Structure 1
Amino acid sequence: MSAAPLSRQDRRDDRLDWLCAHLATTRFLPVPPPELMTCGDGDYRAIGAEFLGHFVRRAGLDPTERVLDLGCGIGRMTVPLTQYLAETARYEGVDVDAAAIAWCARAITPVYPQFTFRHLDVIHPLYNPAGTLAAEHAALPFASASFDVVLLVSVLTHLDRAAVRRYAAEIARVLAPGGRCFATAFLLNGPARAGIATGSARPAFPDRPEETVLHADPEAPLAAVAHDEDALLASFLAAGLRRRRPAAYGTWSGRKGGASFQDICVFERG
């Protein structure tokens, strides 16, 4: 008996699996120099390829959509997207790290002109200490309703509560109706706090059940920030963004079989 033909969705999944596997090992796409690898551990290509799969499967990213990568850094998420987004799509990468933005503009935009980059001169004690604008007053340099998808990968893990509220409001403003925000975070909930209490969590956050924001390093508070899950959801909901589905929890807190390292949320603008 012959096998049943693959459905259209199965064929799409197979193509995505092939693309992600190919991108994780290819040596023909740009990689930043070691001195710019200041944020994020692990293999540059493999992590980018992993997240392309998450963007498509969890946030429903279509190749023709308008994408804002808020906190694009050294292009870890950008490079795989050059092989997925269509020439008619739009990608804007912004970051507070001027050197990272300059590298992306040199290495990516000349080959992929629909990919452009901007420096956001917001103060951050680790990545832009000499910035001119406080995070709680940040404004994204884009028109309202001008993006279909906002990527927020490993950004909430470096923001305090006031900055989270401000960015949530700006994300809601620049998203078109029905647009999605893909965000990763260290979410504090029952299982995560249990992992912290037993020493299973990495980073090793302090065991303070009464606090809704935790910092792994008191000498560099924004190096790794964990947010109470309900409080974080409330900040996004107040901005008009509801979580599209339950979070896909990661392995950082000691959970087994997590979807990734950090927890993944997808928010949607009504």
Structure 2
Amino acid sequence: MKTIKPTEPIQTRGNLDKVVIENDVLHLAGWVASVDAGPVEGFKIVCAGKELTEFVMALGLDSPDVEEMFPNLDCSEKARFHINVFLNEQQQEQVRNSLIVLTPLFEGRKGCLLLDLLEPSLPLPDSDLRGFIGANVNFTDAAIEFLGYFLQKGGLKPTENVLDIGCGAGRMAYALAYYLAPTARYEGFDIAQPLIEWARQNITARFPNFNFRQVDIYNKLYNPDGTLQATEFAFPYEDETFDFALLTSVFTHLPSEEVRHYLDEIERVLKPGGRCLCTVLLHNEESQKLMEAGKSTANLVYQIDDYFATSPDVPERFIGFQEDLLMKWICDRGFTLQGKYYGDWCRRTEFTSHQDILVFQKDCSFVSRMRMFPKKIYRMFQSRNMNEKA
């Protein structure tokens, strides 16, 4: 299997503000601007996996709001666009419950994807369940945002098998359900039973290739009555099962020993060449200066063993890691870093998302796999002994 390294898009920002069908026309409106590549020159539009080519567009529309918010972007004062896509009756039915993907083009180069769902048929969890995963985080906006990262930064293909570690109520699955093919396998697990029950009843019922599992792992903050220690938990999947693994705001709540164990398990269940995208809080010179200046939303000021936390009493609330040390843990397990994208959690002026994002790939070389073989033998006997005790 070849190493997969997605073509990195040029740095852009944008949003789809309007997606609606009126009089046989799909209206798409929003804005997009590059950091240093000039104005947008066109778009590629894909819906339900098929490219739409019958459309007209107006580019370079006035955008004083965008200029005020992002004055450093190229042509931010003329960043708005409007696109009319002409649809026949069959296309309209396909579009209504499908993922719409716009790829902005800048002199032939691709910018960051703009995605949306016109009339998604999947319901949303109620406010109580959404509070489990962050009351201030918009469920669908986060799902759509990260699907773009999975596609462009992680190289996710619609036919690949996906493992969602700490899946919650299926926030990432919500968007993935409209992207993954019916033949692809999605597996998610989480420690919160109410979230898993909602995902089973509402997502699996519509998409039977999406499976959710509750695991009773102890976590002082989120599952204080859990019976399993995270460092002894073996992911309930066979070796080399998945093409893609994702963890959104999971490593930000796990101490270092648990993170290292999870990295071992991720390496085990990923196929050679498989990728992992995770969000983290990286403690480095820049983030430390911003925290010292009082700008960060997560002040990682307490060092506990080999990690940093915002609270000495409940460190699981927010945890970060020294960047070089975390990179070493990843590389020691036979992974190759594919991408590192800093977030605005510490109030950086240039960022990709809120938390930092890492993308790494399981090395498929023979030498690397032989280097990991002793660890696999040890984990096999460890798992066998745990099963015998049980």
TM-score under structure 1 normalisation?
0.90
2:385 aligns with none
8 Å contact 1:17–1:53 — kept in the other structure? Answer: no
Of 234-243 and 70-79, the range deviating more from structure 2: 234-243
Equivalent in the alignment of 2:211: 116
In structure 1, stretches of 5+ residues that fail to align are none
SS state of the match for residue 194, structure 1? helix
| Counterpart-to-counterpart distance in 2, 1:103 and 1:5 | 40
With normalisation by structure 2, the TM-score equals 0.63
Equivalent residue for 1:29, pick from 114, 122, 134: 122
Q: For 1:207 and 1:152, how far apart are their aligned partners in 2?
A: 24
Deviation for aligned residue 1:16? 2.5
Cα distance between partner residues in 2 of 1:175 and 1:103 = 27
Q: Deviations over 1:117-168 (max 9, x none)?
A: 1112211112221111111111100000000000011100000000000000
Match of 2:346 among 253, 259, 263: 253
Q: Which runs of 5+ in 2 are unaligned?
A: 1-40, 54-99, 104-112, 364-390
Q: Which has the higher strand share?
A: 2
Distance 1:17 1:175 in 2: 30
Runs in 1 of length 4+ with deviation above 4 angstroms?
Answer: 4-9
Tell me which residue corresponds to 1:16. 101
Deviation at 1:201, TM superposition (A): 0.9
Following superposition of structure 1 onto structure 2, how do residues 175-254 of structure 1 map, counting pairs within 5 Å?
A: 175-206=270-301, 212-245=306-339, 247-254=340-347
Aligned counterpart, 1:68: 163
Structure 1 residue 217, shift from structure 2 partner: 2.4
Query: What is the distance in 2 between the residues matched to 1:20 and 1:7?
Result: 10
Q: How many residues align?
A: 262
Which one-letter code corresponds to 2:170 in the other structure?
A: G
Deviations 1:58-102 (A, max 9, x none): 000000000000010111111000000011111001111111111
Deviations 1:16-36 (A, max 9, x none): 33895423x746322111111
Distance across 2 between alignment mates of 1:239 and 1:176: 14
| 2:384 aligned partner | none
Within 2, Cα distance between the matches of 1:160 and 1:223? 10
1:155 corresponds in structure 2 to: 250
Q: Distance in 1 between matches of 2:156 and 2:228?
A: 31
Following the alignment from structure 2 to structure 1, what is the Cα–Cα distance between the partners of residues 246 and 145?
14
* Larger RCO (alpha carbons 8 Å, 6+ apart): 1
Q: Percent of counterpart pairs with the same letter?
A: 37
Task: Specify which of 256, 262, 266 is matched with residue 355 of structure 2.
Answer: 262
Correspondence 1:171 to 2:266:
yes
